[in-house]
Amino acid sequence: MSNNVEETLQGNLGCFAAADHRRPTLCVGARAVPAAACSGSVAAVPAAAKRHHLPSIVGQVDHRDQLAAVDLYKSYRKGPVEVPVLRGVTMEVRRGEFLAIVGQSGSGKSTLLHLLGTLDAPDQGEIHYAGRRIDNLPARGRDTLRNRQFGMIFQFYHLLPELSTLENVLAPLMIRHGVWSYLRRRREHRARAEELLETMGLSHRLKHKPRELSGGEMQRAAIARALVAQPDLLLADEPTGNLDQATGQEIIRILRTLNRQQNLTIVMVTHDRAIADQADRIVRLTEGRIES
Amino acid sequence: MYKLLLCWRYLRTRYIALASIISVTLGVATMIVVNSVMEGFTSEMQNRIHGIVSDLVFEARSLDGMPNFAWHAEQIRKVAGDDIEGMTATVVVPAMLNFQYNGNWITRQVQLIGIDEKTQSSVSDFSRYLQHPGNREVMSFELREDGYDTRDHQAGPDARERKQMAEAGWKRRRQSARLQAFQRDYFKSEKPAAPLPGESPSSPSPSDDPFAGRLPAGAQPEGNQFDPEKQQHTGVVPGIAMTSFRTPEGEDKFLAIPGDDVKLTFPTAGQPPKATSDDFTIVDFYESKMSEYDASFVFAPIRKLQELRGMIDPSTGIGLINAIQIKLKPGADGEAVRDKLRAAFAPELYGIYTWRDKQGALLAAVQMETAILNVLLFLIIAVAGFGILAIFYMIVVEKTRDIGILKSLGAPGRGVMGIFLAYGLSLGLVGSGVGMAIGLLFVRYINEIADGLAWITGRPVFDPSIYYFYKIPAVVVPQTLAWIVIGALSIAVAASILPARRAARLHPVEALRYE
């Protein structure tokens, strides 16, 4: 099963990459970090990156980075007590990179991912995306960014229970387009969503509601949803956290394939070392700081 | 697009929300029914009032009246001639109507109105309410041979037959005159006042005839040339309720019918007024279905009244009149013409009113009633609004995670708000749509429903002896309908604003974490 999915992925995602006019131009020369080289020296790369960025002043970011966090602070208020979660996190994500953020629960890795995905605003620090600061964008701009540039998948899949699998996958497109422009191009959108679901091995589940799917199927549907808007960046929050090992491996394989075939930048948060090891690079987060 | 889709899905999966709008449905339905029935009553009543009162009434304040109709008519035409279609003079005087039934004199307090039968119909719908088809075409104070309606021509096929009216006319008059003559002979031959054999209940009410009562009163001496079998007194047209009553079953019982004689007593003009009486013959009935009018107005020829009241100037032959009824051209503004006339004539001498002014209190009372009912019923819908608010709040809480998901997919706060506003609107649409359907069906079958209720409870809901309608009148005004629906919709939307705003302001991260 998992192999099948991977094979169809390799076949079909290649088509998307070719059909997509945006991505090839972005990706030319962006494949700076060869996957094989990276996975061999997981620890060395962050260290090098860190060194490279240490002298950089806040606000000046290397434009080769697709996403960068500079000196992020974030704390949550629990009643009268202020609980610091992030205490000066600086990190960057290269174009086409498969990055894993690992850390114990409570280390702030999910919060970091939310900040990177503009779902939350940092108390202090900056986030840059493709050379532009995004954490201070107006709500409208952040919504557009999440809708068009970022794809997100979550531990609990977060599919809308009222909608069928197909409608869930179409949701980002419905959000992007108004009623008329959506209806005018609905065949096109639908074809794309169906194709994506087929590559995820879910073509027999189009009309099913999420509660009728298994965990792995839901996560694959969520991946299809994240990809339907052709994002530049995929943010994955514990994508395997709720799945058994085999299914989790399958999800990771899909992500891995997406990363290779489409040169899709992926940032994945996990607490599972075995999962994290399959990424190009690992960033370790301890008590709100990047462990060097 | 996602807004519509989700709104549609919520609508189809959340039946509790549909339950919350049942009160909207009921409120809308009730408002439609109440407004339609009130509107029906009002318009029926206005028609009836307008049937007897012309567009404008120009009254002398004195009971003695004003002289010279022709001169006044000319003056009125000078002031507002462009708007005036027709005018007629009337004499209005309080009077007592006496008639005899089964040996008893029955007295009614009435408003005696002297009219010119030739021009009266030109200023109001007066003749339309008469019971003889011939009189409806050309009004006359002559008694007709027969052919009076035995069925209410205004009510349609549901009205009960008025069997007594079949005898009305000269037929009746000859019959009672003969009977009376027989009685007179009987009294002559047998002096002792034995119980009359003809007075048995089975006989066609011989003592209906007031002439029987006139003998002991001695008002008419033996040698009178008047032959009741061939002659009539001056004709009068009383309101139909004057000499009849309606049983709870809706049947009309007549105590006197056209062909019978009545006595009218009224004051003369001049100081001090003296009571004067004369005999009249009923020649027709007037039925406006406005019980107030039908039970108090008696119409007589104006010339006769002027003579009897001493209102005619012996030298010129010109009579005094009490009021001028004015009909306006279609489209003329009654109030404007009234104000023009009021400015032109001394208010101490003349009262000038529109037909609405004449019944202003009644119409205003009905309007007030409608307004208060509307306010109360709208409050019911407003209460429903709070139900929607509460349920929506619950739905927003239940959907917190979904809201987070939508936001993480890039849906703006306004979009999320839009989902719930559209949801509120569609609930309002469903609620008021169903309410409108129920209300309209209710109005359509209101009489059948009233009958059904009467059958179940054993007492009539709509008693035709109280109201002068056979059926409940109901008029649906599309404008009112639109206002009701718009009102219900805006309450539904207003109730969803608060929860929708809460949804829009939910923090995406907290919403996603929500379990």
Segment A232-264, tens digit of pLDDT: 999 999 999 888 989 999 999 999 999 999 889
pLDDT at A39: 38
Residues B311 and B230 in one domain: yes
Which residues of chain A are within 8 Å of residue B5 when distances are taken between CB atoms? Answer: 163, 167, 174
Please report which confidence band the pLDDT of residue B485 belongs to, taking 50, 70 and 90 as the band edges. very high
**Short-list B431, B448, B451, CA closest to B496:** B431
Residue B111 · residue B298 · CB < 8 Å: yes
Strands B261-267 and B104-115: unpaired
Q: Indicate the angle between helix axes A215-228 and A245-262, nearest 10 degrees.
A: 20
| Chain B CB within 8 Å of residue A133 CB | no
Mean pLDDT of A185-207: 91
Q: Are residues B252 and B176 in the same domain?
A: yes
Q: A171-185, A256-270, B134-148, B216-230: which has the minimum mean pLDDT?
A: B216-230
Say which residues have a Cβ less than 8 Å from residue B287's Cβ, sequence separation at least 6. B129, B130, B131, B152, B154, B239, B240, B294
Q: What is the reported pTM?
A: 0.70
Q: Check: CB of residue B27 under 8 Å from CB of residue B382.
A: no
Residues B241 and B383 placed together within one structural domain of the fold: no
User: Do B104 and B212 sit in the same domain of this protein?
Assistant: yes
Q: Which of A148, A158, A175 sits opposite B512 (nearest CB)?
A: A158
Mutation target among A162, A169, A184 for the B interface, most CBs of B within 10 A: A162
Q: At what angle do helices A165-176 and A186-199 cross, to 10 degrees?
A: 130
Q: Which two tokens stand for residue B142?
A: 């002559």
Question: Could you tell me if residue A227 is inside a domain?
Answer: yes
Q: Residues of chain A with pLDDT > 70: what percent?
A: 78
Contacts of residue A276, defined as CB under 8 A and 6 or more positions apart, other chains included, come to A100, A102, A268, A270, A282
The last residue of a domain, from among B292, B324, B358 = B358
* Counted domains in chain A: 1
Alpha-carbon separation of residue B72 from A4, A162, B88 (angstroms): 107, 81, 11
Same domain for B166 and B297 = yes
Which range of residues forms the domain containing residue A175? 2-42+95-118+139-285
> Which residue, of B329, B358, B387, is where some domain finishes?
B358
Length of chain B in terms of residues written: 515
Specify whether B467 is located in the same domain as B375.
yes
Does B237 share its domain with B288? yes
Domain boundary pick from B343, B358, B373: B358
Distance CA A39, CA A33 (A): 10
Q: Is the CB of B404 less than 8 angstroms away from the CB of A158?
A: yes
Tokens 């434009």 map to which residue?
A: A63
DSSP A59-100: T---TTEEEEEEEEEEEEEETTEEEEEEEEEEEEEETT-EEE
Same domain membership, residue B273 and residue B325: yes
Q: What is the mean pLDDT of residues A179-208?
A: 91
pLDDT for res A20: 41
Q: How far apart are CA B85 and CA B78, in angstroms?
A: 13
**Highest averaged pLDDT of the listed ranges A77-91, B332-346, B430-444:** B430-444
Structural domains of chain B, count: 2
What 3-state class would DSSP assign to B75? helix
In-domain check, residue A69: no
Q: Is residue B306 within 8 Å of B58, Cβ to Cβ?
A: no
Whether B412 and A143 lie within 8 Å, measured CB to CB? yes
Residue A133 parent element (H or E) = strand A132-133
Closest CA to B93 of B107, B108, B110: B110
Mark whether B188 and B104 lie in a shared domain: yes
Structure confidence at residue A26 (pLDDT):
34
Please, which pLDDT band fits residue A35 given cuts at 50, 70 and 90?
very low
Q: Classify burial at B16, counting beta carbons within 10 Å of its beta carbon; exposed 0-12, middle 13-18, buried 19 or more.
A: exposed
Cβ pair A154:B411 closer than 8 A = no
Contact between B415 and A175 under an 8 Å Cβ cutoff? The reply is yes
What CA–CA distances, in Å, run from A110 to A37, A132, B70, B235? 27, 22, 101, 103
Contact B378, B485 (CB under 8 A): no
A24 has a pLDDT exceeding 70: no
The strand ranges marked E within B269-322 are: 275-282, 297-301, 320-321
Cβ B140 vs Cβ B65: under 8 Å: no
A172 touches chain B (CB under 8 A): yes
Do B504 and B414 touch, CB atoms closer than 8 A? yes
pLDDT value at position B205?
A: 46
Give mean pLDDT, residues B286-295: 79
C-alpha span between A2 and A142 (Å, rounded): 35
- What one-character DSSP code corresponds to residue A57? P
Judge whether residue B408 has pLDDT over 80: yes
Give the residue among B361, B362, B288, B321 at the shortest CA–CA distance from B58: B321
Number of CB atoms found within 10 A of residue B134's CB: 15
Helix axes A2-19, A186-199, angle to 10 degrees: 140
Q: Which 3 state secondary structure label does DSSP give B254?
A: strand
Determine, yes or no, domain membership for A73.
no
* Type of residue at A251: I
B405/A contact by beta carbon, under 8 A? yes
How confident is the model at residue A27, as a pLDDT?
34
Who has greater pLDDT, B20 or A56? B20
Nearest to A269 by CA among A47, A53, A100: A100
Q: Residue B243 above 60 pLDDT?
A: yes
Mutation pick from B402, B405, B417, B514 vs chain A, by most beta carbons of A within 10 Å, is: B405
Chain-chain contact of B407 with A119 (C-beta, under 8 angstroms): yes
Condensed to tens digits (0 to 9), the pLDDT of residues B160-204 reads 778 888 888 888 888 888 888 888 788 776 555 444 544 444 444
Is A77 among the domain residues?
A: no
Q: Count CB neighbours of B211 within 10 A.
A: 23
Q: Are A225 and B409 a contacting pair at CB < 8 A?
A: yes
Radius of gyration of chain A (CA): 19
Neighbours of B399 (CB within 10 A): 26
Say which CATH number the domain at A189 has: 3.40.50.300
The phi and psi torsions of A132 (rounded to 5 degrees) equal: -115, 140
Of A154, A162, A177, which has the smallest distance from its Cβ to B10's Cβ?
A: A162
- How many contacts does A have with B, using Cβ atoms within 8 A? 74
B503/B500 Cα distance (integer angstroms): 5
CA distance B105 to B440: 50
Residue B38 belongs to domain spanning? 2-46+362-513
Q: Would you say B122 and B134 are in contact if contact means Cβ atoms under 8 Å apart?
A: no
B11–chain A Cβ distance below 8 A for any pair:
no
Residues B307 and B333 in one domain: yes
**Which helix (H) or strand (E) is B328 found in, with range?**
strand B323-328
Q: What is the pLDDT of residue B225?
A: 67
Whether residue A246 is contained in a domain is answered as yes
Mean pLDDT, residues A180-203 taken together: 91
State the CB neighbour count (10 A cutoff) for residue A238.
22
Q: How confident is the model at residue A291 (pLDDT cuts 50, 70, 90)?
A: confident
Across B8-22, B391-405, B462-476, least confident range = B462-476
**Domain co-membership, B368 together with B498:** yes
CA atoms of A262 and A232, how far apart (whole Å): 10
- Residues of chain A with Cβ-Cβ distance to B412 below 8 Å are 139-140, 143
Query: Is position A57 within any domain?
Result: no
Residue A144 has its nearest CB partner, among B404, B410, B508, at B410
Phi, psi values for residue A62, rounded to 5°: -65, 125
List phi, psi (to 5°) of B342.
-60, -35
Longest dimension (CA), chain B: 117
DSSP three-state, residue A291: strand
Q: What distance in Å separates the CA atoms of residue B412 and residue B403, rounded to the nearest whole number?
A: 10
Q: Is B112:B95 a contact under the CB 8 Å cutoff?
A: yes
From B4, B29, B14, B22, select the one nearest B485 (Cα to Cα): B29
Q: DSSP character for B462?
A: S
Q: Is residue A66 part of a domain?
A: no
Beta bridge partners of A101: A269, A283
Does residue B290 sit in the same domain as residue B420? no
Q: In angstroms, rounded to a whole number, what is the distance separating the alpha carbons of residues B462 and B464?
A: 6
Decide: B409 and A172 in contact? Cβ < 8 Å. Answer: yes
